[in-house]
Amino acid sequence: MSSKHKKTYFLRLVQLHKKIKIQIGILVSLLVAFVTLTAFNYDDSEIEVISKQVKRNLEQRTQISNTMSKHIKAGQFPANVEFDWFDRKEKFQVNYTLDERLQNDADNLLKRYRPDYGAVVLLDATTGRILALSSYQKDDPKASHLALRATYPAASLFKIITASAAIEKAGVSPYHTIKFNGANYTLYKKNVMNDKENRWTRKITLKDAFARSINTAFGRLSLESLEPADLLDFANRFMFNQAIPADFEVEQGFAHVPTEKSYELTQVASGFNRINRLSPVQGAMIAAAVVNDGKMLVPYIVDSMKNPEGDIFYKGEPLEKGYIMTAESAGQMRKMMEQTVIGGTSRKSFRNLVRDRRFREIEMGGKTGHLTGDNPKGRVDWFVGYATDDQNRKLAVAAITISKKFWTVKSSFIGQYMFRSYFEPVVKKKTVAFRQ
63-73 residue pLDDT tens: 999 999 999 99
Burial of 55 per CB tally in 10 Å (0-12, 13-18, 19+): middle
Determine how many CB atoms are found less than 10 A away from the CB of residue 37: 17
What is the percentage of the chain residues whose pLDDT exceeds 70? Answer: 87
Q: Is the peptide bond before 376 cis (omega within 30 degrees of 0)?
A: yes
| 4 backbone dihedrals φ, ψ, rounded to 5° | -65, -45
Report the first-to-last Cα separation within the chain, whole angstroms: 79
91-111 residue pLDDT tens: 999 999 999 999 999 999 999
- CA separation (Å) from 410 to 156, 209, 350, 404? 15, 21, 11, 14
What is the percentage of the chain residues whose pLDDT exceeds 90? Answer: 81
Q: What CATH number does the domain located at 96-301+318-435 have? A: 3.40.710.10
pLDDT band at 56; cut points 50, 70, 90 = confident
Determine how many CB atoms are found less than 10 A away from the CB of residue 294: 21
Q: DSSP alpha helices (H): ranges in 196-326?
A: 206-212, 215-225, 228-237, 263-270, 280-291
315-365 residue pLDDT tens: 999 999 999 999 999 999 999 999 999 999 999 999 999 999 999 999 999
pLDDT band at 431; cut points 50, 70, 90 = low
Q: How far apart are CA 144 and CA 119, in angstroms?
A: 11
Q: Residues 234-241: what's their mean pLDDT?
A: 98
Find the angle CA(65)-CA(70)-CA(75) to the nearest 5 degrees.
110
Q: What is the structure's pLDDT at 429?
A: 74
Cross-strand pairs, 403:
379
Mean residue pLDDT across the chain: 89
DSSP run (H or E) holding 116 = none
pLDDT surpasses 50 at 21 = no
382-399 residue pLDDT tens: 999 999 999 999 999 999
> Reduced to 3 states, what is the DSSP secondary structure of residue 254?
strand
166-199 residue pLDDT tens: 999 999 999 999 999 999 999 999 999 999 999 9
Query: Would you report the helix, strand and coil content of the chain in percent, each value rounded to 5?
Result: 45, 25, 30
pLDDT surpasses 70 at 202 = yes
Q: How far apart are CA 34 and CA 47, in angstroms?
A: 8
Whole-structure pTM value: 0.88
Q: Is 281 in contact with 296 (CB distance < 8 Å)? A: no
Q: Residues 215-229: what's their mean pLDDT?
A: 98
Q: How far apart are CA 405 and CA 12, in angstroms?
A: 39
> What are the DSSP calls for 151-205, one per residue?
-EE-GGGHHHHHHHHHHHHH---TT-EEEE-S-SS---HHHHT-----TT-EEEE
Q: How far apart are CA 25 and CA 436, in angstroms?
A: 53
Helix 215-225 and helix 158-170: axis angle, to 10°? 30
